[in-house]
């Protein structure tokens, strides 16, 4: 009974013939995939920029309303102090 293992590489794969057309097809496929990935990335960046602009506009609107409220409070306080000093 033979129990030894053979470590020889008996599996020979056939050689892959790469034609110019196959290489060109592969290059076009890779460039197309890269273009699609770039377009999706650009779309994601644009949506993030729009979200950032909306947040900034909301903060700006809130600050403007606080400034108007502060100006009203100052005007009310100034008239109160003016009449208080005249008494």
Domain ranges of the chain: 31-87
Put simply, whether the predicted model's pTM sits higher than 0.85 gets the answer no
**pLDDT tens digits along 5-45:** 666 656 666 666 667 778 888 899 999 999 998 888 888 88
Query: Residue 79's pLDDT is what?
Result: 79
Query: Residue 23's pLDDT is what?
Result: 84
Query: Residue 19's pLDDT is what?
Result: 76
**pLDDT tens digits along 45-67:** 888 999 999 999 999 999 999 99
Q: Which DSSP string corresponds to the chain? A: ---PPP------PPPP---HHHHHHHHHHHHHHHHHHHHHHHHHHHHHHHHHHHHHHHHHHHHHHHHHHHHHHHHHHHHHHHHHHH-
């Amino acid at each position: 009974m033979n129990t030894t293992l053979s470590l020889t590489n008996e599996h020979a794969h056939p050689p892959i013939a790469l034609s110019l057309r196959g290489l060109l097809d592969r290059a076009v496929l890779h460039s197309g995939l890269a273009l699609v990935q770039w377009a999706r990335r650009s779309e994601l960046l644009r949506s993030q920029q729009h979200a950032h602009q909306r947040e900034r506009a909301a903060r700006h609107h809130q600050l403007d309303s606080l400034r108007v409220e502060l100006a009203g409070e100052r005007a009310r306080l100034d008239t109160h102090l003016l009449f208080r000093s005249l008494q």
